[in-house]
């Protein structure tokens, strides 16, 4: 966590999503979707970090294949994060709008 900027962003968003889910009193199925989706993003982030470290170890210099490997790992994290945003909108969207309308 100390050396990975993106992990801090994932951590902040995870806390916000879980607090929002708690505030909205989501049911178990919605919590399960959020937990699985969040877990997949974290898994992708950790695998990408490990991949980058291994590539740096194996190829300390600049190499096109090393760059490709790192770029694909980063793309996997991006895809996981985008899917998580979509799941978050599907799970949190309606309850959040209903709760905000009730408050206003």
CA distance between the termini of the chain: 39
Among candidate residues 37, 41, 45, 55, the one labeled active-site is 45
What Cα–Cα distance (Å) separates residue 35 from each residue in 5, 17, 63, 92, 101?
Answer: 22, 10, 37, 13, 26
For residues 40 and 80, the answer to whether their CB atoms sit within 8 Å is: yes
52 is catalytic: no
For residues 52 and 76, the answer to whether their CB atoms sit within 8 Å is: no
Which residue in 65, 38, 35, 39 sits closest to 51, CA to CA? 65
Catalytic residues: 45
């Amino acid at each position: 966590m100390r050396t990975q900027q993106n992990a801090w962003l994932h951590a902040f968003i995870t806390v916000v999503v879980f607090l929002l889910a708690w505030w909205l009193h989501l049911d178990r199925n919605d919590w399960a979707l959020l937990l699985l989706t969040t877990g997949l993003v974290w898994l992708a982030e950790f695998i990408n970090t490990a991949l980058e470290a291994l590539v740096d170890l194996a190829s300390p210099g600049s190499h096109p294949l090393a760059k490709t490997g790192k770029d694909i790992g980063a793309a996997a994290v991006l895809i996981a994060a985008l899917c998580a945003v979509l799941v978050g909108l599907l799970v949190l969207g309606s309850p959040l709008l209903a709760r905000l309308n009730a408050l206003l």
